[in-house]
Amino acid sequence: MKTFFIALLLAFTAILNAHAQIISADVGVNGLTCSMCARGTEETLKRLDFIDSIDVDLNTLVAHITFKKNMNAPVEDIVKAVEDAGFSVRNITATFNFSNQKVGKDEHIDYGNDVLHFVGVEDQTLNGPVTLRFIDKPFVSKKEFKEWSKKTSMTCYKNNKKDACCPVNVTPTKRLFHVTVTS
Amino acid sequence: MKYLIPIFFFGFFAARSSAQELFIYSEPASNMPNRSYGFVIGAESFGKAGSFFTRNDLGFMYEVTGALMTTVTLHASNYYGGYDFNNVDAYAKYRIFSDDGFKQHFRIAAYAMGAVGEQRNTFADVELEGGNRGLGAGFIFTLLQNRFALSSTIGVITLVPDVKAAPGITFQDVRNYNYSLSAGFLVYPAHYESYRDLNFNLYAELLGKYITYDHMETSMPGMIMHEHGTVLDLAIGPQLIINSISRVDLSLRSRLISGVAGFPKPCVLLRFEQMFYH
């Protein structure tokens, strides 16, 4: 019984300590070619107070973003800023600093006002910098979307919106994103 | 000249990579970034009956939402005698469809515009940039594919009051069914190093209008003559983008079809535009 309580306490402590902090992100932008449009996108992204620095590669049209420490960076706001600039997000990979974060197939973890739904990952504990790729329908090719759809039975992925399958922590005010671990 | 058009357009389609859609005469279906604004100052020369005139434009642009752009432009010219203020027009454009890809997009926008000012007793042209009062609306379709952009506008302009074209002559229900096909090409740079890289774009625009109006003369009461005519211009010009925030446009325009007598013929346009973000 004593061992059980110790294990329970450790598990509870682990949950309390579980933590994700975004460090940087690469955001591919669609719908533009010229440097004037790229500059407009960069200037719009700069308005977000949680962005520390941004550098847009004018040839690959990828925005390399670093975030301020200890600030929540809603992915939804980044997507919205790109759309406000008149364009759309092609893909997103982001590096998070994890602390004792258990993930597994269809695990949902809270990240500020976002919920990250892990797809196609084995059970593991994430520690230190880990790069996640956002695999929601707008951020992957049609072929990739079909492939990822096979790796989860949850309808929220296929329907690209919160659904009855989502756990209770995906409240109406939260934005759901689907991610997978790349490194 | 008639052979120049297909050669020019073929040249665009034969090109392989990337493009520009900041057309000199027509608006693209795309917008500026949300809450950005800009100023534009321009001069356009045109000729009529052996005389040359100049119209100046001073405009302010503001992007309201990222999909809704508004512009207010003041126009002054020496067309009506001495150099004076002609009219002010307001323009609003709303992007209603977007399909984006890597260095490409297809977009559709709807626009509406109106102009207020004194309706001059000289029939200049059925445009809202100048000495007319009226309303206009239409749609814009824009395709961007790497360095190449192609855009088409269809719309209608109607002059709200009657036009007293000459002593004893009145035009009623004056309408301009306008259409355009604009092509743009990003010539330089082939590879970007920074926002400071000078961009050089080249444009060719076919600008057409079909004018209809009712012609009445006080000397012939009760007699209404329904008039119509086609006007088609070709405008070709370079554009420089400086520091990815300023643009300088130059365009040479010539009339290919002149189906309405008495319209001034635009020939040279020079414009400077400065963007601001906050």
Q: Write out pLDDT tens, residues B20-59.
A: 789 999 999 999 999 999 999 999 999 988 889 999 999 9
Contact call for A86 and B144, based on CB within 8 A? no
Give contacts of A79 with chain B, Cβ < 8 Å.
Answer: none
pLDDT of residue A6: 53
Q: Tens digit of pLDDT for each residue in B55-85?
A: 999 999 999 998 999 999 999 999 888 899 9
Chain A: residue nearest B148 by CA? A33
Give the best residue of A27, A30, A35 to mutate against chain B (max B CB count within 10 A).
A35
ipTM: 0.85
Of A30, A41, A86, the CB nearest to B101: A30
d(CA A117, CA A11): 21
From B247's Cα to the closest Cα of chain A, the distance in A is 10
Chain A: residue nearest B67 by CA? A86
pLDDT of residue A18: 53
Contact call for B241 and A43, based on CB within 8 A? no
**A26 shares contact with chain B (CB less than 8 Å):** no
**A55 shares contact with chain B (CB less than 8 Å):** no
In B167-258, which ranges are continuous DSSP H helix? none
Percent of chain B scored above 70 by pLDDT?
A: 92
**Of B220, B213, B222, nearest in space to B261 by CA:** B213
Interface contacts A/B by beta carbons within 8 Å: 91
Amino acid present at B265: K
Of B36, B67, B186, the CB nearest to A34: B186
pLDDT of residue A7: 53
**Of B145, B157, B143, nearest in space to B207 by CA:** B157
Give contacts of A36 with chain B, Cβ < 8 Å.
Answer: 22, 199, 241, 244-245, 247, 275
pLDDT at A14 over 60: no
Give the best residue of A27, A32, A33, A88 to mutate against chain B (max B CB count within 10 A).
A33
Contacts of B187 (CB under 8 A, 6+ apart): B147, B200, B201, B202
Give the best residue of A30, A32, A34, A91 to mutate against chain B (max B CB count within 10 A).
A34
Architecture of domain A18-181 in this structure: 2-Layer Sandwich (3.30)
Note the Cα B27 to chain centre separation in Å: 7
**Of B80, B82, B68, B146, nearest in space to B112 by CA:** B68
Chain A: residue nearest B196 by CA? A35
Q: Tens digit of pLDDT for each residue in B88-136?
A: 999 999 999 999 999 999 999 999 999 999 887 666 788 898 888 999 9
Hey, is A35 helix, strand or coil?
A: helix
Cα dist from A139 to A2, A148, B163, B230, whole Å: 48, 12, 55, 47
Q: Specify the range with the lowest mean pLDDT, choosing from A37-46, B4-13, B155-164, B225-234.
A: B4-13
Q: How many residues does chain A have?
A: 183
Structure tokens at B265: 């013929």
**B192 shares contact with chain A (CB less than 8 Å):** yes
E strands in chain A = 19-30, 51-57, 62-67, 88-103, 108-111, 114-118, 124-134, 175-181
pLDDT of residue A2: 59
Report the CATH superfamily, name and number, of domain B4-276.
monomeric porin ompg (2.40.160.40)
Give contacts of B277 with chain A, Cβ < 8 Å.
Answer: 40, 43-44
What is the rounded average pLDDT of the residues B233-256?
Answer: 97
Give contacts of A38 with chain B, Cβ < 8 Å.
Answer: 195, 244
Give contacts of A90 with chain B, Cβ < 8 Å.
Answer: 100, 102
Structure tokens at B21: 């859609």
- Give A154's pLDDT tier (boundaries 50, 70, 90): confident
Tokens 């990337």 sit on residue: B18
d(CA B42, CA B215): 33
Domain coordinates in residue numbering, chain B: 4-276
**Of A170, A145, A140, A172, nearest in space to A157 by CA:** A145
Tokens 């309303």 sit on residue: B135
- Give B263's pLDDT tier (boundaries 50, 70, 90): confident
CB B89 within 8 A of CB B72: yes
pLDDT of residue B53: 93
